[in-house]
Amino acid sequence: MALELGLDTFGDIANGPDGQPLHPAVVLREVLAEGELADRLGLDFFGVGEHHRPDYAVSAPDTLLAALATRTERIRLGSSVTVLSSDDPIRVFQRFATVDAVSNGRAEITVGRGSFVESFPLFGLDLSDYETLFEEKLDLLAAVVTERPVRWEGSIRPPVQVDRVMPATESGLPVWVGVGGTPQSVVRAAHYGFPVVIAIIGGASRQFAPLADLYRRALSEMGRPELPIGVHSPGYVAATDEQAVEEFLPHFLPYMNKLGRERRWAPMTKEQALGQLGPDGAVYCGSPDTVAAKIVDTLQVLGASRFQLKYSMGTLPHEQRAECIRLYAEEVVPRVREQLG
């Protein structure tokens, strides 16, 4: 598998110079600038996630990616993730097929359940249908992306009987499935022949090795060819390990504790946060040497061929995000490629 190194963002709402949250419109324009920078620096992939909360600016990834498609030349553009459970699979295909046309074939979709559930009440869906909605909508999307006649029936909507969903793409639309830590998720992705992106947002990457092994085994048992495995994890790159921690921790710890309050987790201490930023934590934070070594270890342990650094975190400002992107592209990526041959 070809090695791919890229970036992810959710359009986290940063604070302005006055200490107040920026307007979402400002953040969206900053994300466009960051995507342009990633393209100029030669990174392989730029992904934007979908949320419907006041702490994130991106609720329509495909619209933002369409704008970015007209301002970039070579970087692949995708969602990280599209919350398929609360969307219409046919419209998802149509929107991303449009992005694919505008970008000259650089679009892809990563679908998932999402890390939050605010889209369910927003779009009039019942959380008791959580499993059924994702399973059936993934089944329909799998039928649609073949770009052949669709003859589909399920329990969540009337049957779909069409010869083709338009617009047609020129060379197909890649679909990945974003997975957490559940075996059922990787087996389901293998069933449809979709590559997976493993979201590592807590713990060491080696804890996810059994999940990657299960995915490869499921592909083999289903008679499918080997497919790529990607990894999504938060991180931050600075000139030294000390500088990275000093700049990142004041944004990371409040973000995690805000999330913890929502989910009724025990408060994260500074020591626990530093553990997440350390060698065995889920956050790829440090100097270019440190981050590159950790990425190499992760790719080797999981047998993965793509790494997506979630470079935005909470209130981390645009200037620091841009410098992180520059160091990642100019210092980290060459080290990773050299170490992996």
pLDDT tens per residue, range 173-182: 999 999 998 9
Q: Is the pLDDT of residue 114 over 90?
A: no
Cis-peptide into 81, omega within 30 deg: yes
How does pLDDT run across 224-233, given as a tens digit for each residue?
999 999 999 9
β-pairing, 284-286 vs 229-237, is parallel
Q: Is the pLDDT of residue 9 over 90?
A: yes
Residue the block writes with tokens 């329909």: 140
Domains recognised in the chain with CATH numbers = 4-339 (3.20.20.30)
Query: Please, are residues 59 and 22 in contact by the beta-carbon 8 Å criterion?
Result: no
Structure token pair of residue 314: 């909470």
3-state DSSP percent of the chain in helix, strand and coil, to 5: 45, 15, 35
pLDDT for the residue numbered 202: 86
Query: Please, are residues 235 and 312 in contact by the beta-carbon 8 Å criterion?
Result: no
Rounded CA separation 89/106 (Å): 20
Rounded CA separation 131/156 (Å): 11
Rounded CA separation 142/156 (Å): 16
pLDDT for the residue numbered 278: 93
29 φ/ψ angles, rounded to the nearest 5 degrees: -65, -35
How does pLDDT run across 227-257, given as a tens digit for each residue?
999 999 999 999 999 999 999 999 999 999 9
- DSSP string for 149-199: -EEE--SSS--EEES-PSSPPSS---EEEEE-S-HHHHHHHHHHT--EEEE
E strand or H helix at 216: helix 209-221
pTM of the model: 0.97
Q: Provide the angle, in degrees to the nearest 10, between the axes of the packed helices 288-302 and 209-221.
A: 40
Report the half-sphere exposure of 338 (CA within 13 A, side-chain side). 9
* Cα–Cα distances in angstroms (integers) from residue 328 to residues 6, 42, 129, 321, in the given order: 9, 11, 40, 10
